[in-house]
Structure 1
Amino acid sequence: MRVEAAVREQAALGEGPTWDTAARRLIWVDILGSRIHTYDPASGRRTVMATEQHVGAAKPRAGGGLVANLRDGIGLYEPGPGADGGTGTGHGGAFSWLFRDPAPGRRGNDAAVAPDGALWAGTMRDDEASGGGSLSRIAPAGTGGEISRTVVFPEVAVSNGLGWSPDGSLMYYIDSPTRRVDVCRVEDGLPVDRRPFVTIEPHGGFPDGLTVDAEGAVWVALWDGGQVRRYAPHGALERVIELPVRRPTACAFGGEQLRDLYITTARTGLHQPHPLSGSLLVVPDAGQGLPGTPYRG
């Protein structure tokens, strides 16, 4: 499959590609660079917005703007004047905290929005210590504006990829140092019966971000493995995309028909990074993605 550079960039730790259907563009972040990027593949237009602190992920909100998983908690960016597509990125949108929960040496990492509109946000320690991170569900605010935050997995190391099956009955989850992609049944919006779905071999790298396609297959980016892999719903390896970079971090389908696979990459920790390390890559016509859900808070 043909791998192209969608956006040539030198992000230290590119992450979290997300297709924003309303704005018809891709949102992604540079965690260590504290930047939120957007890219419109139809026009080539880009925006870059500096964030208050390290940002693990940024997702569209149903009412406009973004919800972001930051170092010290979850923040909201309101649409700024003249904001393109209502995201507010690059346009001076107002910032506020949804909640703050700072802890020395800990930061937000990957996040995703479930089919019910709830935000799932992970954390990790900078030293990647076992048990130092967690995964929480942040339910949309009720009529009174209150939110419900539930710590679902309280002791993980590096909370990473999240995704749901097309019918929403299964949730996939990655705690990277385990080298596993786990799968859970979903009951009342919460995961139960967590069990291994796929285990990556010792020399295959570490599973990082993931996405689920319209056929229920799971695409996984392998940090230090230089690959994105597609696993069938029953766990069989079906496809391997070899990449020119060593550290892909996450993948997501985007474009008008959700057929192009976008892949974020990292440069951090590499002595001689490939020239495309830190760029946003794309594999045209790789498959068929699922429409995303904006955060409904």
Structure 2
Amino acid sequence: MVQLRPAQAALGQGARTQHERVCLEGAARPGPGRGGGAERGQAEAQPQPRARLSARGGLDQRAAGRVRGKLVLRRRRHAQPLRLPLSGGIRHQRRRLFPPAVRACVRRAAQGLARDHPRLRFRIGLRARHGGRNAQGLRQDRTDKIVFPLMDRVRVALDAKTRLGEGPVWCPRKQALYFVDILEPALKRFDPATGATKTWPVPDLIGSFALREGGGLMVALRRGFYTLDLKTGATAPVHLPEEPEDTRFNDGKCDRAGRFWAGTMHFQGMPREPKGALYRMDIDQRVTRMERGIRTANGLGWSPDDRLMYYTDTRTNRIDVYDFDIATGSIANRRPFVHVPQDSGFPDGLTVDSQGYVWSAKWDGARIVRYSPDGRIDRVVAMPVPRPTSLSFGGADLGTLYVTSARDGLDDAAIARHPLSGAVFALEPGVEGLPEPRFGG
């Protein structure tokens, strides 16, 4: 590997501290037509030399060839993390983080390569390290790598303008994405191939839903579980648990045995005490309360081997993990998986990909985060809206990640800065998801 480092002068006035450095890490490979056969043989026989980027943005001749790598702005371990602004979009954030001279270095290094060249792999981002534990003694991983997408570009799939978009679920049979607007309240379906949408109004706030094996949906409305007939739009109550009046059902999902899980939350201001709960509906439609003392029940998912269940309580800034028994549906040994710093947003919806990595949307964090199975941050993708809410893999090969968002709670000025708030976004992250199970009842 050849490390390409710009001179200190290339960093610009705003980045000249002993705690910062910018480097371009990658492998330099000889390109076609560069030198004769003897020269190429000599280059292959000798170790690659270290190359440097000059302050003027030039590339040392010793590093001539194709370059692939990533430009990363790093701070040393005890430096405070840089904070991304919530306004101005990705391009504005990139300009603030990377001075023009540094970007010029990258352009010169990549000169002559097509933007989509298979060996061009520039990912421009930020990595901030901050060690230590929080007040509760939980391990808190502050390694934060912000990826401004080049390969995995965030695009608008549907400018839905939802007040509180949530709960995306991909339907392979329809090749369509279902999601809800909690506050409209309505269920929606989006066909990416045609752009067509359809809406089913519901009589009360809708937190989540599950597609049913026999057709129709099982939905969690404000007071409990209902069926929804997609042909007629009619709803019918199935089970209404005794819940405090100031709570409502929120996020939910099916496990791979066909059970529907959904939780409740306090929804009138900040809860003084945790009143929420987590419920499990079996395929015979029997409902069991599985957990109490929850503030804001949110995203959940299961590991590919069905041995773990991940669960989010948003107001605690934590994603927890349980041991899970797929045969009985029991959960045990609840423990912290990730503690999310408050300046990174609140953990909201969640999904798990085929590699067992956990993706979490960050409300008021303008980002989605991919965590490794051991709870470390693998990737952070900046979003063009401050309130992404949930996410789900879809597409023919489950290679597209769909992300819902919200505009509820944003004032006119914030919506003017982020006009795409409430849209459904899509990106291709380079990994595949897992099929969303259907409710077996």
Is the CA contact (8 Å cut-off) linking 2:283 and 2:440 kept in structure 1?
yes
2: CA distance between counterparts of 1:277 and 1:163? 25
Assess if the C-alpha contact under 8 Å between 1:261 and 1:286 holds in 2: no
Shift of 1:286: 4.2
- Shift of residue 289 of structure 1? 0.3
Work out the CA distance in 2 between the residues paired with 1:125 and 1:218: 25
1:218 matched to 2:364? The reply is: no
1:244-269 CA-partner distances (Å, limit 9, x unpaired): 10000111101111000000101111
Question: Greater CA deviation, 121-130 or 4-13?
Answer: 121-130
Structure with the higher fraction of residues in helix conformation: 2
Partner of residue 264, structure 1: 404
1:140 to 259, 283, 290: 283
Q: Is 2:306 the partner of 1:155?
A: no
Deviation at residue 95 of structure 1 after TM alignment: 1.9
Do the aligned partners of 1:163 and 1:210 also contact (CA within 8 Å) in 2? Answer: yes
Stretches of structure 1 lacking an aligned partner (at least 5 in a row): 81-91, 142-146
Amino acid across the alignment from 1:246: P
Q: Give the aligned partner of residue 95 of structure 2.
A: none
Partner of 2:156 in structure 1? Answer: 5
CA contact (8 A) 2:239 2:287 kept: no
> What is the aligned counterpart of 2:173 among 4, 7, 22?
22
Q: Distance in 2 between matches of 1:59 and 1:210?
A: 15
**Which residue of the partner structure matches residue 313 of structure 2?**
175
Structure 1 vs Structure 2 CA RMSD:
1.2
Task: Sort the Cα spacing of 1:285 and 1:235 in 2 relative to 1 into closer, same or farther, 3 A.
Answer: closer
Distance, in Å, in 1 between the alignment partners of 2:318 and 2:244 is 27
1:100-152, CA deviations, whole angstroms, 9 ceiling, x for partnerless residues? 236422211000001110000111121341311111001011xxxxx321111
- Paired position in structure 2 for 1:99: 239
Partner of 1:165: 303
Q: Is the 8 A contact 1:72 1:103 kept in 2?
A: no
Higher strand share: 1
Higher relative contact order (CA 8 A, sep 6+): 1
The 5 Å alignment of 1:77-96 reads: 77-80=228-231, 92-96=232-236
Ranges in structure 2 where 5+ consecutive residues have no aligned partner: 1-151
Whole-Å separation in 2 of the counterparts to 1:252 and 1:115: 16
Q: Matches of 1:268 and 1:93 in 2, distance apart?
A: 25
* 2:218 counterpart of 1:67: yes
Distance in 2, Cα, partners of 1:180 & 1:47: 35
Measure how far apart 1:167 and its partner are.
Answer: 1.1
Give the direction of change, closer, same or farther, for the CA distance of 1:278–1:286 in structure 2 (3 Å limit). Answer: farther
Q: Where does residue 236 of structure 1 map in the other structure?
A: 376
Alignment of 1:99-118 (within 5 A): 99-101=239-241, 103-118=244-259
Paired residues for 1:31-50 under 5 Å: 31-50=182-201
Report how far residue 285 of structure 1 moved: 4.6
Paired residue secondary structure (2:344): coil
Q: Which shifted more, 98-107 or 255-264? A: 98-107
| Amino-acid identity (%) | 40
Q: Which runs of 4+ in 1 moved over 3 A?
A: none
Corresponding residue for residue 426 of structure 2: 282
Amino acid at match of 1:132: K
SS in 1 for 2:169: strand
3-state SS of paired residue (1:167): coil
Q: Matches of 2:312 and 2:407 in 1, distance apart?
A: 21
For 2:380, give the aligned amino acid.
Answer: V
**Secondary structure at the counterpart of residue 203 of structure 1:** helix
* Aligned counterpart, 1:196: 336
TM-score by length of 2: 0.62
Take 1:7 and 1:103, find their aligned partners in 2: how far apart are those partners? 36
Deviation at 1:43, TM superposition (A): 2.1
Counterpart CA distance in 2 for 1:215 and 1:61 is: 26
One-letter identity of the residue aligned with 1:117? G
Aligned residues: 281
Contact 1:56 1:71 in 2 (8 A): yes
More displaced stretch, 218-227 vs 275-284: 275-284
Question: What amino acid maps onto 2:287 in structure 1?
Answer: R
CA separation of 1:96/1:106 partners in 2, compared to 1, >3 Å: closer, same or farther? same
